[in-house]
Amino acid sequence: MIELLRHPWHWSVGGIIIGLTVPALLLLGNKKFGISSSLRHICAACLPANITFFKYDWRKEIWNLFFVAGIAIGAFLAVQFLQDPGDIRVAQATQDTLAGYGIHDYSQLMPAEVFNWGNLFSWEGFIFFIVGGFLVGFGTRYAGGCTSGHSIMGLSTLQWPSLVATICFMVGGFISTNLLLPLIFQWIK
Amino acid sequence: MTKNLSKTDIRHTDAMCTNDSELQHPWWHNLKYLAVGIVFGITFVKTEVISWFRIQEMFRLDSFHMYGVIGTAVVVGAISVLLIKRFKIRTVYGEQVHFEDKKFDKGMIYGGLIFGIGWAITGACPGPLFAQIGGGFSIVAVTLFSAVAGTWVYGAIRNRLPH
């Protein structure tokens, strides 16, 4: 059983479990599935700064912070106890392109060449950590939700605005991956 | 945003994931959401959706994997919601499950594009940020901090942006 769990899971298994999170949260306490709101609750709890947007009862939403803490713990457990010893198997075409960016290490979920503390004070770190993170936090809130809130919760409840948001997430991602990242890697290398 | 919004109205502005329960419980009732999060986090790692590599693959159309995960999740979620509505299934506390229709806002386009660009750079939407940190990439804590800063700046300048 453990051996089976160690292998990377098929997309359908992941999809089913992630999909079941929607009814699980609804039935456990009328909670709507979403994750980017946790970032807002952190703002509301730590630095509301008299901004109207953060003047709500964040304590009522603390369940969401328990949920994201669980995500971090779950990821820790999976990496500690259910890690597949082999390299992550990425499509050859993607590997060929990434090799051109100087990325060759597939031993972990993230490329160690980019995501390491040594890069923090470099242009690479500035773009991948600071700018990237800022765009995620700013964009998800401006869009009113992220992949979980719009693409899964919103589409599951057939909200057409969530479909618009999801299409824009994808368009942004296609532009970023195929037009911006090649330029970024060319510039920082 | 006008001044006379209630706290609930403010919370529902630009948000999908709200707490619509009227009930109040001791804090430890929240542990069940921690448990759901743990299962979710394990799934995130084992299906590799928190992998920067998988995100690159998806946006380069080199693999079906991510589309399969998200597509299946939507189908399972939609069927579940349909069943909850059809059979009027109540929460474990006996409350009626609350659904609401969201209004369109231009932010879904502008914000959506901005988030999409960030998603491909970081290889993470907000959920995976937490999972990447838990999974051992402590440097992503910097990314998470920056994401919180991004959310804060949005809150500060919200009224000056097109909606």
Mind listing the pLDDT tens digit for each residue in B40-79?
Answer: 999 999 999 999 999 999 999 999 999 999 999 999 999 9
- Please check whether residue A79 is in contact with residue B27, taking contact to mean a CB–CB distance below 8 angstroms: no
Q: How much is the ipTM here?
A: 0.96
- Cα–Cα distance, A54 to A41 (Å, whole number): 8
Q: What DSSP assignment string belongs to A127-157?
A: IIIIIHHHHHHHHHHHHT--IIIIIIIIHHT
Test the B interface: residue of A18, A57, A84 with most B CBs within 10 Å: A18
Which residue, chain included where needed, has tokens 């403010």?
Answer: B10
Q: In the numeric block, which tokens belong to residue B104?
A: 């369109």
Cβ neighbours of A9 in B, within 8 Å: 43, 46-47
From B37, B50, B148, residue closest to A137, measured CB to CB: B148
* B81 vs A11, A128, A157: nearest CB: A157
CB count within 10 Å of CB B89 equals 14
Cβ neighbours, 10 Å, residue B132: 30
**What does the pLDDT look like over B72-117, one tens digit per residue?**
999 999 999 999 999 999 999 999 998 989 999 999 999 999 999 9
pLDDT at B145 over 90: yes
Residue showing tokens 């994997």: B65
Supply the mean pLDDT for chain A. 95
B-chain residue closest to A104, CA distance:
B53
In tens, the pLDDT along A169-181 reads: 999 999 999 999 9
**A71 at interface of B, judged by CB pairs closer than 8 A:** yes
Count of H-run helices and E-run strands, chain B:
7, 0
- Please give the pLDDT value at position B1: 55
Residue B2 has pLDDT above 80, yes or no: no
Instruction: State how far residue A64 is from chain B, nearest Cα, in angstroms.
Output: 7
Instruction: Report, as an integer, the average pLDDT of B9-29.
Output: 92
User: And the tokens for B10?
Assistant: 């403010």
Give the C-alpha separation, A72 to A160, whole Å: 31
Among residues A172, A159, A165, A171, which one has the least CA distance to residue A141? A165
pLDDT in tens, A96-120: 999 999 999 999 999 999 999 999 9
Judged against a pLDDT cut of 90, whether residue A5 lies above it is answered with no
Q: Can you tell me the distance from the alpha carbon of A140 to that of B89, in angstroms, rounded to the nearest whole number?
A: 31
A-chain residue closest to B78, CA distance = A156
Q: What φ, ψ does residue A104 adopt, rounded to 5°?
A: -130, -15
Set of chain B residues whose Cβ sits within 8 Å of the Cβ of A75: 41-42, 44-45, 50, 130-135
Give the distance from residue A86's alpha carbon to the nearest chain B alpha carbon, in angstroms.
13
> Of all residues in chain A, what percent carry a pLDDT higher than 70?
100
Contacts of B101 in chain A (CB under 8 A): 159
Q: What angle do CA A11, A148, B6 make, to 5 degrees?
A: 165
> Exposed/middle/buried for B131, CB within 10 Å: 0-12, 13-18, 19+?
buried
Distance CA B150, CA B126 (A): 12
Q: Determine the residue among A38, A82, A138 to mutate to test chain B binding: the one whose Cβ has the most chain B Cβ atoms within 10 Å.
A: A138
Please report the pLDDT score of residue A86 as a whole number. 87
- Answer whether A143 sits within 8 Å of B117, measured CB to CB: no
